[in-house]
Amino acid sequence: MSSDYTNRNNAYLNFWKKHLDNVRLIGSKEKPLVLWRNKYILPIKIYNFKVSFVHSLDEREAIFALSLSKMNRDVEKILSWLENANTREVYGLYSEHRKLFYQGYIVQIGDQNKNKTPYWIEENYNTFTLDVATDIQNLFKDENLILK
């Protein structure tokens, strides 16, 4: 099953790379999200090999849906949809002190106090909504995290 997701996601990513600059997939392999320009998540949902184009990620009803294999036939329709789609703006958090991006935090098993230890990466692979990013900034005030 894993190779099915890998093959599907590679085809899906290749389509977007042909038509948009600076695009990658993030999230789970089962339901990847399309991140564009490291700033916007496109309102698209993929299930098996069916791609649903929605107005925003919060909506369930598709404006239109295509099979992955037919997306190349409808590039104009897809790009036209993208002009009016409600993309979700996302942020990375950068530690000027560490010269690294915040990735998440670790909680030790059995830690009754839920002490959170942040961990860091060199590139901005994690993305947060503004609300979540602000909460993280408040949680780790000593790091002086910068929104990117």
Tell me which residue of 43, 127, 46 sits closest to 88, measured CA to CA: 43
pLDDT at 93: 93
pLDDT at 117: 80
Residue type, 77: K
Which parts of the chain are beta strand (E)?
23-26, 33-36, 40-41, 44-47, 50-53, 64-67, 88-89, 93-95, 100-107, 116-121, 145-147
pLDDT at 49: 92
Residue type, 126: N
Q: What is the DSSP letter of 70?
A: G
| Tokens found for residue 41 | 């998540």
pLDDT at 107: 76
User: Tens place of pLDDT for every residue, the chain, 148 residues?
Assistant: 568 899 999 999 999 999 999 999 998 899 999 999 989 999 999 999 999 999 988 888 999 999 999 999 999 999 999 999 999 999 999 998 889 998 887 777 777 777 778 878 888 777 899 999 999 999 888 888 999 8
pLDDT at 1: 54
